[in-house]
Amino acid sequence: ATDLCSPLAVLGHDVQVPLVSGEKVGYAALDYAASSPALQRVWDDVAAYAPYYGSVHRGAGYLSQLSTDLFEQSRRTVEEFLDLREDDQVVFTRATTDSLNLLAGALPAGTRVFAFETEHHASLLPWRREGLTVGYLRAPRSHAEAVARLAEALAEAPEGPKLFCVTGASNVTGELWPVAELTETAHRYGARVVLDAAQLAPHHRVSVRELGVDWIAFSGHKLYAPFGAGVLAGRSDWLDAAEPYLAGGGASRTVAREADGSVAVEWQTGPARHEAGSPNVIGAYAVASACRALTEAGFDALEAREQRLIARLTAGLAEIPEVRVLSLFGEEAARVGVLSFVVQGWNSSHFSAALSAEYGIGVRDGLFCAHPLVRTLLGGEDATPSECGAPEPSLPGERSLNAIRVSFGAGTPDEHLDRFLTAV
């Protein structure tokens, strides 16, 4: 179904959807930024393993040992995929939101967290908790401004632990952020860095070692694996010193009754400390399978193909005068296969509904869980608050209060983008 090599063939290309005309067409999935289709390879790997799975870590039986091996091998695969440093660790989580909340709970008391207000809510909100102070930085309009704004904020910050959270690629504009430069700046002021790679990892090779970030988070369901499994990876010291994310079996090394009747707990160190309960072994295995497939296909090939599709898409949209593509950094920043736009005279929700009903195209409309960013891009701080993706009322001709997002990746045939451009 794709013109890429087989490791990246995706499921779902033969799904037929009904149109208002009564016809049926193949579904054009152009909402990869929300969740990508799963790879056929991932499905096959999971199906091959499913009859053999057992509980991990404590089972004495053969299948428990096999599952433990596969679970721990999956961790190694993710370590290699992210090019981690020697003493980094991989914690399996549910997704990026879960990973960043885990990290928020593991920060030393008094940590000052810095994030641009343009972040996805998953990177913006987990830090608002007792014991932490959050400094939100105003939206920058260039990479240099982003670096300068961070430096300025950190220079004024008092002594003490600091964390800077940044996205690698925007889920709204698809634009890349200058992660290496921001990290270098943060480190110069003694701040650690966590990279939200939810949108970056599916499109680009990511090397934690080269970028220098301290932690990284991503979601399996945006990386061609199913829902329910994600990753937080990076420095062990703060994670090993923190209260476990979940208290329970697996996270505890020993639990003993004390003479006074209380219960004393000695917690594990390493990933087990934050993976209490029976872990999502199948999910971890699926994520590792996707990592292997992406590595095998090669990011050079993936990126070259994607850049060709992005050029086609942006050139096509540029020919339609009513379309305004949203951008924070203008010409300066390259983008991954994610792009948001508004159409003059159209309500974005109606527009997206028409793409679905008349053309079988699945995009997304709304504020994309990045309300401050989308409001900045639409030029109105006064836009009505909305839940994630909920439609906003607006009349044709009025300033848009929300936008339309088209996003794609491995498995997107040229025909889907051509159909999309024709429809627009």
Q: Which residues contact ligand PMP by CB under 6 A?
A: 33, 95-97, 120, 122-123, 167, 171, 196, 198-199, 219, 221, 369
Residue 136 CB, nearest approach to ligand PMP (Å): 16
Q: Which CB sits closer to ligand PMP, 70 or 326?
A: 326
Contacts for 50 with CB less than 8 Å, ≥ 6 apart = 282
Place of tokens 């991954």: 336
Contacts for 59 with CB less than 8 Å, ≥ 6 apart = 65, 67, 68
Rounded CA separation 286/302 (Å): 20
Residue 156 CB, nearest approach to ligand PMP (Å): 27
Rounded CA separation 218/198 (Å): 4
Rounded CA separation 12/408 (Å): 14
Residue 139 CB, nearest approach to ligand PMP (Å): 15
Q: Which CB sits closer to ligand PMP, 229 or 313?
A: 229
Q: Which tokens go with 9?
A: 């063939």
Residue 244 CB, nearest approach to ligand PMP (Å): 20
Instruction: Indicate which residue of 5, 165, 291, 369 is catalytic.
Output: 369
291 belongs to the catalytic site: no
- CB burial of 329-367 (b: ≥16 within 10 Å; e: otherwise) equals beeebebbbbbbbbbeebbbbebbeebbeebbbbbbbbb
Using an 8 Å Cβ cutoff, are 164 and 187 in contact? no
Q: Which CB sits closer to ligand PMP, 186 or 198?
A: 198
Q: Work out the angle at residue 230's Cα, subtended by the Cα atoms of residues 13 and 294, and round it to the nearest 5 degrees.
A: 50
Residue 336 CB, nearest approach to ligand PMP (Å): 11
Q: Which CB sits closer to ligand PMP, 77 or 167?
A: 167
Place of tokens 């091959």: 48
User: DSSP character for 332?
Assistant: G
Please give the positions annotated as active site: 369
